[in-house]
Structure 1
């Protein structure tokens, strides 16, 4: 993992606790992650990776399905979204390849 990817990953993971610090925050959403949710927008999540082609950080072929945070065995959940379901063909800026 290069330094840039490491920093992006650290930034993405660092955003998660900030969401829970707001004592007046609404309860955490459940179900499938929607593109219009604040956290999804912060991570530039899209349900179709091809829609991310305008993003300078997008690399062709990178999808939720081949990301290290994707949990196929847990209802296609993503650890960045608290285990909530994401589209296999989706993408966000925190994408990192699965370890081999």
Structure 2
């Protein structure tokens, strides 16, 4: 009677699996990142709106319609991202078409 001895997976196979799992975990965290709530204390204090067209012109006369989070120096995403990080909001994401009083030309 012959017994087969199970050999552990090759080291290279293990390392590849570890890398794939790590990348998947990182991607899942990035997608799950919370978005800024317009009613949060920080958003209200900065006059943040997800849509620049919704900004109160009387309250924020410095606002111009072409000013969007996407073209702000604090935008931390790519030009194609709909949502990305912002220095003003810590780990929360903002809308590319949004605006707040901290807007500065990129």
Matched, 1:48 2:42: no
Is 2:65 the partner of 1:60? yes
Tell me which structure has the larger Cα radius of gyration.
2
Q: Gaps spanning 5+ residues in structure 2: where?
A: 1-32
Higher relative contact order by CA 8 Å / sep ≥ 6: 1 or 2?
1
TM-score under structure 1 length normalisation? 0.63
Q: Structure 1: where are the runs of 5+ without partners?
A: 1-29
Moved over 2 A (4+): none
Q: 1:82 aligns with which of 47, 67, 90?
A: 90
- CA-CA distance at 1:60 after TM superposition: 2.2
What TM-score does the superposition give when structure 2 sets the normalisation length? 0.59
Count of paired positions:
69
Closer, same or farther: CA 67–83 of 1 in aligned 2, 3 Å: farther
Compute the RMSD of aligned alpha carbons. Answer: 1.8
